[in-house]
Amino acid sequence: MATSPATSPGTTGPGGLAFASTRGRWVVTATVLGSGVAFLDSTVVNVALPHIGDDLDTGVGGLQWVLNGYLLTVSSLILLGGSLGDRFGRKRIFQLGIVVFAAASLLCAVAPNAPLLVAARIVQGVGGALLTPGSLAILEASFRPQDRARAIGAWSGLSGVASAVGPFLGGWLVDAASWRWIFLINLPLSLFVVVVAARHVPESSDPDAAGHVDGLGALLVALALGGLSWGLIAAGENGFGAVSVWGALLGGVLAMAAFVVVERRSTDPMVPTTIFASAQFRAANLVTAAVYAALGGVFFLLVVQLQNVLGYSAVEAGAASFPITVLMLALSARSGALAARIGPRLQMTAGPLLVAAAALLMTRIEAGSSYVTDVLPAVVVMGLGLAIVVAPLTATALSAVADRYAGIASGVNTTVARAAQLAAVAALPLAAGITGSAYLDPSRLSDGFHTAMVITAGVAALGAVIAVVGIRNPERVEPEAEPVPAPTGWFCGAEGTPLETCPGSCASGDRRLVRGSELES
């Protein structure tokens, strides 16, 4: 159901929902749990990889595809998912994604061999691609402007907690039952999300969206990412000289170039090139790529290092990163609120630097290392870095474009994040020498892990540099400098009082001006 032309594109009514309202909290709950299931699954699998390898008799290449099969389809189709939501209803596509994800989770749980598990993971990625951009777009479209940063901050923090708790939950399920239960747990959670969304989430869409769905663009993205991933993973076994390797890499590059050409010429592009006119949007996505590449590399290799080199059980390896969960739960929402007050630049610089420092601290983790002195400090610093950067990173990317592009913007940002993780999982083992039999040799694995963490630290630090150069804090506009109020009335964005009677300093420090029609009745 498209929104009325009388309201701002994508809103649910005059001004949208208040964060503190009952319905607003249910909307946050549905979107957090929906995207959280997808994020949880992207990390819960990591801790089960050694057990999956033993049970299904597959090596490091097969295990990379257990992760990358999911990441590939999420990265390839998430833009399409955002576009479908803008056209046909964000709530509708979000619910469809949950259903597909749950069905694929069941297929993963019963997979008898590695190829069928990878195939089910690919279908799971289709569901993730539909629900993830929808969750962010629903928040951007449903809440009133002054509450969006807070809602997105809560989403970022709680979804990040789902990602961080994944290794702990996965380890417990693997040790207590079987790796198959890491997929079965998605079924009741998905059912709950579908019910809550049906009852409480308002429908929204882009009333100006028209034309055909860009299927060719989606296909080219899939071919590009698939070719590059296949080539990098296969290079670890066959070398870059193999035709299957360089052919896949070349095909991926050509497909990506074709995607750019198609999008520029299309009358109904999946990714309108106008959204990249914003330097803030470009910079935010580059920082996203750096942070999530580092995150993907750490979570892929850390649990393997802990189990295969330090001798941790699955649940111990998962519990090792639990402080990240605690820190993100405690600090992410506050981080989003702070960025809304002072601007995102400081946090988007400091966060990646802390992630880089954490990766360097992880080079101390080796056989015989103590958890308290070697593992815990790195994990704590990583948690602080993520808590500081994730919320402002997401909010900055979405706020840099017009509201009508909420679905596309969130799709682009999430695509960048997933593609960065995909690239890290595919390239880091190759760059660090963790290929073939090295995965099974604790000494070689440990050396490769240390090399990988140094590379990861460099990537995260590059994200900080990009933030310093490319991210700008919004200018603070004094109310007195604004033109004469429009007939509908202008109000203080922080307190909802008429501008003429607004005190000299808004209590929350938010002096943005919003039309009277945008305030909650």
Q: Is residue 501's pLDDT more than 60?
A: no
Instruction: Please report the pLDDT score of residue 9 as a whole number.
Output: 39
Q: Does the pLDDT at position 42 exceed 80?
A: no
Please report which confidence band the pLDDT of residue 92 belongs to, taking 50, 70 and 90 as the band edges.
confident
pLDDT of residue 105: 94
Are the C-beta atoms of residues 70 and 125 closer than 8 Å to each other?
Answer: yes
Please report the DSSP string for 154-168 in residue order.
Answer: HHHHHHHHHHHHHHH
Report CA-CA distances (Å) from 443 to 64, 348, 366, 376, 378.
20, 36, 9, 22, 21
> What's the whole-number mean pLDDT along residues 280-298?
91
Residue 491 pLDDT > 70 = no
Q: Note the pLDDT of residue 174.
A: 85
Confirm if 329 and 264 have CB atoms less than 8 A apart.
no
Q: Are 153 and 336 in contact (CB under 8 A)?
A: yes
Q: Return the bridge partners of 17, or none.
A: 143
Q: Is the pLDDT of residue 516 over 60?
A: no
Q: What are phi and psi of 159, to 5 degrees?
A: -70, -35
Q: Please give the mean pLDDT across all residues of the chain.
A: 79
Q: What is the pLDDT of residue 106?
A: 95
CB atoms within 10 A of CB 372: 8
Query: According to the model, what pLDDT value does residue 347 have?
Result: 92
DSSP label of 17: B
- The residue ranking higher by pLDDT, 180 or 39, is 180
Q: 151 falls in which pLDDT band (50, 70, 90)?
A: confident
* CB proximity list for 348: less than 8 A, separation 6 or greater: 284, 287, 389, 392, 393, 396, 464, 467, 471
**CA pair distance 37, 22, nearest whole angstrom:** 23
Lowest pLDDT segment from 97-101, 217-221, 463-467 = 217-221
Domain map of the chain by residue range?
22-214+266-470, 215-265, 479-518
pLDDT in tens, 176-204: 888 899 899 889 989 999 998 888 888 87
Residues 135/8, Cβ–Cβ less than 8 Å: no
- Give the model's pLDDT for residue 263: 84
Give the residue carrying structure tokens 């790529």. 289
Rounded to the nearest 5°, which phi and psi values hold at 17? Answer: -85, 150
Which of the two residues, 435 and 371, has the higher pLDDT score? 371
d(CA 172, CA 246): 40
Lowest mean pLDDT among 298-307, 322-331, 375-384, 476-485: 476-485
- Distance separating alpha carbons of residues 455 and 205, to the nearest angstrom: 41
Of 11-20, 282-291, 387-396, 451-460, give the lowest mean pLDDT range: 11-20
pLDDT at residue number 7: 34
106-138 as b/e: b if 16+ CB within 10 A = ebbbebeebeebbbbbbbbbbbbbbbbbbbbbb
pLDDT at 499: 36
Q: Residue 172 has what pLDDT?
A: 84
In the block, residue with structure tokens 């569901």: 127
According to DSSP, the residues that pair with 513 across neighbouring strands are 492
Share of the chain above pLDDT 70, in %: 83
Instruction: Tell me how far apart the alpha carbons of residues 13 and 247 are, in angstroms, rounded to a whole number.
Output: 52
d(CA 296, CA 308): 19
Query: CA separation (Å) from 44 to 224, 318, 480?
Result: 27, 9, 52
What's the rounded mean pLDDT across residues 257-266? 86
What's the whole-number mean pLDDT along residues 411-430? Answer: 82
Which pTM does this prediction carry?
Answer: 0.70
User: What was the pLDDT predicted at 478?
Assistant: 52
Residue found under tokens 């089960």: 48
Residues 6+ apart with CB under 8 A from 274: none
Name the band, by pLDDT with cuts 50, 70 and 90, for residue 503.
very low
- The DSSP symbol for 480 reads G
- Amino acid residing at 289: A
Question: For residues 5 and 402, which has the higher predicted lDDT (pLDDT)?
Answer: 402
Query: How far apart are the C-alpha atoms of 257 and 249, rounded to whole Å?
Result: 13
Name the pLDDT band for 458 (thresholds 50, 70, 90).
Answer: very high
At 99, the pLDDT band (50, 70, 90 cuts) reads very high
Question: Has domain 22-214+266-470 been given CATH number 1.20.1250.20?
Answer: yes
pLDDT category of residue 406 using cuts at 50, 70 and 90: low
* Contact of 136 with 156, CB cutoff 8 Å: no
Strands 490-492 and 513-515: antiparallel
What CA–CA distance (Å, rounded) separates 303 from 496?
Answer: 49
How does pLDDT run across 152-171, given as a tens digit for each residue?
777 776 776 666 676 777 78
Rounded to whole angstroms, the Cα distance separating 27 from 182 reads: 26
Q: What angle do CA 171, 172, 175 make, to 5 degrees?
A: 85
Query: Out of 265-274, 339-348, 423-432, which region has the weakest mean confidence (pLDDT)?
Result: 265-274
Cβ atoms of 307 and 313 within 8 Å: the answer is yes
Percent of the chain exceeding pLDDT 90 equals 25
* Range with lowest mean pLDDT among 30-39, 88-97, 205-214, 437-446: 205-214
Give me the residue label for tokens 């309108």.
272
Instruction: Determine the 3-state secondary structure of 490 from DSSP.
Output: strand
pLDDT, tens only, 339-385: 888 888 999 999 999 999 999 999 999 999 999 999 999 999 999 99
| Predicted pLDDT of residue 360 | 97
Q: Which residue has the tokens 């909802």?
A: 496
pLDDT, tens digit (0-9, with 9 covering 90-100), for 119-144: 999 999 899 888 877 787 788 778 88
Whole-angstrom Cα distance, residue 76 to residue 83?
13
